[in-house]
Amino acid sequence: MKRDKMGKFFYPSSIVVFGVTDTPGNLAKNIILNCQAGGFEGDIYPVGRRPGSVSGYEIITDPESLPMDIDLAVILIPAEVIPETMKICGRKGIRHVVISSGGFRELNGKNNQVESDVQSVARQYGIRFIGPNCIGVICTNSGLCTPFNPLQAQSFKSGDISLICQSGGIATQAAHTFSEEHVGFSKIISAGNKLDINEIDLLQYLMNDDDTKQVHMYLESIEDGRALVKLAKKSKKPIVLLKSNVGETASSIAKSHTAALSNNDRIVDGALRQAGIIRVDDLYDMTVCAKALSLPPLKGNRLVAISPSGGFAVMLGDLCEKYGFECPELPRQLLDTIESQRRGGVIRMTNPMDFGDVYDMEVMINTFESCLRLDDIDGIVISYMYNEEMLKAFSGNIGSPERLLEVIKNICERTGKPIALSFHTERSYIEEFKKIGTFPVFNDPAESVRALQMLRNYWRVKDSDNHF
Ranges of beta strands (E only) in 19-149 are 43-47, 53-54, 57-58, 72-75, 96-99, 128-130, 136-139, 144-145
**Rounded to two decimals, what is the model's pTM?**
0.90
Higher pLDDT among residues 8 and 266, named by residue: 8
* Architecture of the domain defined by 5-293: 3-Layer(aba) Sandwich (3.40)
Span 386-394, mean pLDDT?
A: 62
Taking the C-alpha atoms of residue 349 and residue 342, their distance in angstroms, rounded to an integer, is 10
Taking the C-alpha atoms of residue 184 and residue 174, their distance in angstroms, rounded to an integer, is 10
Taking the C-alpha atoms of residue 270 and residue 268, their distance in angstroms, rounded to an integer, is 6
**Spans of all domains in the chain:** 5-293, 303-462
Question: Are both 5-293 and 303-462 of the same fold?
Answer: yes
Determine phi and psi for 90, rounding to 5 degrees: -60, -45
Residue of 64, 59, 36 whose CA lies nearest to 48: 59
pLDDT higher than 80, residue 259 = no
pLDDT tens string 183-207: 999 999 999 999 999 999 999 999 9
Q: What percent of the chain clears pLDDT 70, i.e. is strictly above it?
A: 89
pLDDT the model gives residue 464: 74
pLDDT the model gives residue 214: 98
pLDDT the model gives residue 344: 60
Three-state secondary structure call for residue 312: helix
pLDDT tens string 127-151: 999 999 999 999 999 999 999 999 9
Type of residue numbered 89: C
pLDDT tens string 451-461: 999 999 999 98
For all residues of the chain together, what is the average pLDDT?
Answer: 89
Bridge-based pairing of strands 214-219 and 239-243 is parallel
Cβ neighbours around 333 below 10 Å, total:
8
Q: Could you tell me the CATH superfamily of domain 303-462?
A: Succinyl-CoA synthetase domains (3.40.50.261)
What is residue 59's DSSP assignment?
P
